Amino acid sequence: MMKNKNNLAIFASGRGSNFEALVQEIKKGKINVAKCVLFTDKKDSLVRQRAKKYGVKDIFIDPVRFKDKKEFDQEVIDTLDKEKIKVIALAGYMRILSPFFVKYFENKILNIHPSLLPSFAGNNAIEDAFNYGAKVTGVTIHFVSEEVDQGPIIAQRPVGIKDKMSLEDLRKKIHETEHKLYPQILKLFLENKIKLEGRHVKIT
């Protein structure tokens, strides 16, 4: 039996396919989680339907209610504290976290990005790599830092871009890779097998 289980919040703003990939492994008992909640900033996001499907608590806070990012993030922190959340996995969460928020959960926030960082950072990474004519792109899982898409890299998985591949083919391949890699890395992190030394990450 696994000990020292963590309380996890998965942050998502859209369809929630990575959310579902993580939750499926949690429900199977393969990821060391005592409690899992969804947090979203989008009232009509499809991920909320996925949360309902899996019986995961759905927390929605509307950012338009707040005067600035810090006030919103403080409300999110207060809500997560009530849930005793210790670890956060970003899974298609489209709001940039404030330095204040990142500092509060320092080295406890993971993010997945659909490119081999530092190449093709930003919101359109798959399309940017495809349009650039890159032959290889991929998936990166990293710690979240105050600078967007610049946190220490935990793991990367390459995805080749073949000559006859369409943009939708590439998207599908990237998502398939994400859904395999993210649960593996989250599992290791929650088992304290990932160690951060400066910008270098070691998996034991």
- Catalytically active residues are 113
Left if phi > 0, otherwise alpha if psi is -120 to 50, otherwise beta: which for 109? Answer: beta
Strands laid side by side in the 33-40 sheet: 57-60, 33-40, 6-11, 87-90, 109-113, 136-143, 153-160
Residue 155 φ/ψ, nearest 5 degrees: -155, 150
Which residue, among 32, 40, 36, 34, has the nearest Cα to 15 in the 3D structure? 40
Nearest alpha carbon to residue 14 among 38, 37, 48: 48
